[in-house]
């Protein structure tokens, strides 16, 4: 992804979400210089990967990708320091944009359609070789137990939510621009994603202009705690 594209996507995301009456914490709009000035009292932001996260999965962002803002998260490896057992994220899906098939080994998550268009999800169970199992998928949608055949689809309309368990492959696409919230157990995107065929979780960035905002994968290049 080009840095200019990342800057533009985040500007659009801020306007879209604020236009629906939802505000962000201050660190959502910090500049790179703000991040450079951080002290030890802000270490949780970096250790737990809070803030913006964009990816194109090695392809074209508008076709395959997602925009994420992580509000809060625990830490799988520093539970004494960060005891939160939960995470909360905002997810933005463009019209026709695909999130490729993947599952999580540890994370259980609720995906909540907070407005915009519909979210179409296709689901599989994973088998012992981490492929697609030819078995029915048992899901919960707004407290209702639902059984979907292998590779089958469900449609989440605005206001609806779905619970996805570890080991359940899911792929989704937006029908219209969709604003989602994710409430989950502690999440570490460095180690807890099993993608079926996507090229990579984090984008290679072409620095065609200065960053206006940072994504969490930038922090290692900007934050030096004193």
> pLDDT for 113-152, tens place per residue?
999 999 999 999 999 999 999 999 999 999 999 999 999 9
Cβ proximity of 108 and 151 under 8 Å? no
* 59 band by pLDDT with thresholds 50, 70 and 90: confident
* % of the chain residues with pLDDT over 90: 89
70-110, pLDDT tens digit by residue?
Answer: 999 999 999 999 999 999 999 999 999 999 999 999 999 99
- Give the pLDDT mean for 32-43: 95
- Give the pLDDT mean for 205-223: 95
**DSSP-derived secondary structure for the chain:** -BHHHHHHHHHHHHHHHHTTT----GGGG--HHHHHT--GGGHHHHHTT-EEEEE-TTS-TTTB-EEEEEEE---SS-TTT----EEEEEEEE-BT-EEEEEE-SS--EEEEEEEEEEEEEEEEEB-TTSSB-SS-EEEEETTEEEEE-TT-EEEE-TT-EEEE-TTEEEEEEEEEEEEEEEEEE---TTTS-EESS-S-SS---B-SS--SS-BGGGHHHH----
**In CATH, what number does 3-222 get?**
2.60.120.10
* 226 band by pLDDT with thresholds 50, 70 and 90: low
Domain ranges in the chain are 3-222
Give yes or no for residue 198 having a pLDDT over 80: no
99-117, pLDDT tens digit by residue?
Answer: 999 999 999 999 999 999 9
193/9: higher pLDDT: 9
Give yes or no for residue 202 having a pLDDT over 90: no
Averaged pLDDT of the chain: 95
- Give the pLDDT mean for 174-190: 94
Give yes or no for residue 204 having a pLDDT over 90: no
* 201 band by pLDDT with thresholds 50, 70 and 90: confident
Q: Of the candidates 182, 176, 162, 214, which has an alpha carbon nearest to the alpha carbon of residue 93?
A: 176
Lowest mean pLDDT, pick from 18-32, 69-83, 182-196: 182-196
């Amino acid at each position: 992804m080009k840095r200019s594209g990342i800057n533009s996507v985040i500007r659009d995301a801020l306007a879209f979400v604020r236009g629906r009456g939802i505000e962000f914490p201050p660190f959502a709009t910090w500049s790179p210089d703000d991040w450079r000035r951080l002290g030890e009292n802000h270490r949780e932001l970096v250790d737990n990967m809070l803030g913006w996260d964009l990816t194109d999965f090695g392809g074209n962002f508008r076709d395959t990708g997602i925009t994420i803002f992580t509000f809060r998260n625990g830490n799988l490896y520093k539970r004494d320091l960060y005891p939160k057992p939960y995470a909360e994220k905002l997810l933005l899906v463009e019209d026709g944009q695909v999130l490729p098939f993947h599952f999580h080994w540890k994370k259980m998550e609720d995906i909540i359609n907070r407005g915009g268009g519909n979210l179409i999800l296709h689901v599989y169970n994973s088998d012992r070789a981490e492929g697609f199992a030819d078995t029915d998928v048992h899901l919960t949608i707004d407290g209702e137990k639902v059984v979907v055949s292998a590779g089958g689809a469900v449609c989440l309309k605005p206001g609806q939510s779905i619970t996805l368990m570890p080991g359940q492959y899911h792929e989704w696409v937006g029908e219209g621009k969709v604003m989602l919230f994710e409430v989950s157990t502690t999440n570490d995107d460095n180690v807890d994603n099993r993608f079926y065929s996507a090229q990579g979780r984090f984008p290679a960035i072409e620095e065609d202009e200065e960053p206006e905002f940072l994504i969490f994968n930038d922090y290692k290049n900007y934050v030096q705690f004193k």
